[in-house]
Structure 1
Amino acid sequence: MNGEFAGLVAVVTGGGSGIGLAAARLLADRGAAVACLDLDPSGVPDPLLGVECDVTDAGSVTQAVTLAADRLGALDVLVNNAGIGAQGSVEANSDDEWHRVLDVNVVGIVRVTRAALPYLRASSCAAIVNTCSIAATAGLPNRALYSATKGAVQSLTLAMAADHVGEGIRVNCVNPGTVDTPWVRRLLDSAGDPAAELTALRARQPIGRLVSAAEVATAIAYLASPLAASTTGTVLAVDGGMHGLRLRQAAPTASPSESVPTSELRKP
């Protein structure tokens, strides 16, 4: 296979759909052998290897990572992409829901990384990429629990990068904005006015549209690539400008009766 990932093996969690599947396909297109770990890997297409995995279960994680590494011969790149969403303010979710979402989005990364580290330490091109979110850095309404988990993912990424840089393992994360994925489409379908909600989601991103899964996959591939060997401890935003741009809204046009004469504007 040609490409910068030729001869390398990648494991992608949450690889059965959305961002995870897009990333897995791109890594494979660039030469990697790729295993997709997912609760339901039945839709994972060839030549990707689908492996059933529950990131909330340490035994399932160890078994899945070991199977992937054994079947593909190594493990060089880990993409921690598995995650779930949550809606509402701090009053909206029960303690059990807080524990459940934190278990998947944060502790799930810990479990999979812990299982992968022995293999990564044996690689000369070891890289970990965590899927984070714009919710880690921007206050979004009705996303308290989700935002808390993604803030933790960003901090965890930096801590992991510091811990493992001496072992030659690079750790970075990608922070997408609102991505057009099956999960987002399900959220839209459950809204009172799906069309209006989609318009609002598009409008809050300066580029005026949702981010595509392929665009996030491209960022993941960059961070994972041996060509980015000096990139570690980096947070890469793929959010249509949400984190940094503050665009001015067009001023309303004044009616003739509301216009101010130029002479008045010049008065002290």
Structure 2
Amino acid sequence: MTQRLAGKTAFLTAAGQGMGRAAALAFAQEGAQVWATDINAEALATLDHPGIRTRVLDVRNSAEVALAAADIGPVNVLFNCAGFVHNGSILQCSEDDWDFSVDLNLSSMFRVTRAFLPGMLEHGGGAIINMASMASSLKGFPNRFVYGTTKAGVIGFTKAVAADFVKQGIRCNCICPGTVDTPSLRGRIASAADPVQAEKDFIARQPMGRLATVDDISPLLVYLASDESKFVTGAALSVDGGVTI
């Protein structure tokens, strides 16, 4: 590795598995000191790298988030990765489904960013990366009503933060991945009425003819966390295998 993040401290949510885990390892391998957080202590325990420290965190709890920011102190990189994929149209979305998805997918970013942004500002800036999606935020997909709504909100959130703090050294961007082969996806496939067909359907919507891997996505995260992207802010960057062509 080239130590592209040497000297930087990074804070990540949902780092126990999937994209959060891949980002934590990629950041650490590039020299960052990483704080990997997740609500799942067992998943965090599997992160074995000298550059990674772990902390159990419920991003839906404002007090826990504020305490984490106070304990950890200023960071250079913040990756808001926590999220949930609800399946269904507006008619299959209860008020509880709506509240949970909005809280985890969007409000958690508000809590975490609000907690860590003052430290970034005091120390001259930093890079904030938010997890959006190509699904519904850039392109409509069936049965992704509240998920797509929240991910569109992530893009608006990203641009608003970027605009407010662009002159103070803060860069805020989001990524819009295609369908990534993660434990979350595998869980959704397994729960389908026909898992074999469900996997085929997920693959079929990718013009490149395959699912993305976490290693397809993590290089973009490293780029956005590094000084190489110092002129990039307010962007919603697609890494979707051509879905939104």
Secondary structure (helix, strand or coil) at the match of 2:6 reads coil
CA positional deviation for 1:65: 2.5
CA positional deviation for 1:2: 5.4
The CA RMSD measured in Å over matched residues stands at: 1.3
Whole-angstrom distance in 2 between the partners of 1:84 and 1:65: 23
Whole-angstrom distance in 1 between the partners of 2:70 and 2:47: 19
* 1:75-154 alignment runs, 5 A limit: 75-124=75-124, 126-135=126-135, 136-154=137-155
Which deviates the most, 42-51 or 7-16?
42-51
Whole-angstrom distance in 2 between the partners of 1:65 and 1:82: 17
Whole-angstrom distance in 2 between the partners of 1:15 and 1:125: 23
Larger radius of gyration: 1
TM-score of the superposed pair, with normalisation by structure 1:
0.86
Aligned twin of 1:62: 66
**Identity rate, percent:** 39
Whole-angstrom distance in 2 between the partners of 1:46 and 1:66: 24
Unaligned runs of 5+ in 2: none
Aligned twin of 1:193: 194
Secondary structure (helix, strand or coil) at the match of 2:118 reads helix
Aligned twin of 1:222: 223
Secondary structure (helix, strand or coil) at the match of 1:100 reads helix
Runs of at least 4 residues off by over 4 Å: none
CA positional deviation for 1:143: 0.6
CA positional deviation for 1:124: 4.1
Aligned twin of 1:52: 56
Q: Contact 2:124–2:168 (CA<8 Å) still a contact in 1?
A: no
Matched, 1:172 2:173: yes
CA positional deviation for 1:62: 1.1
TM-score of the superposed pair, with normalisation by structure 2:
0.94
Whole-angstrom distance in 2 between the partners of 1:125 and 1:211: 32
Matched, 1:43 2:46: yes
Aligned residue identity for 1:138 = K
Q: Contact 1:51–1:68 (CA<8 Å) still a contact in 2?
A: no
Q: Contact 2:9–2:33 (CA<8 Å) still a contact in 1?
A: yes
CA positional deviation for 1:125: 5.3
Q: Contact 2:5–2:225 (CA<8 Å) still a contact in 1?
A: no
Paired positions, count: 240
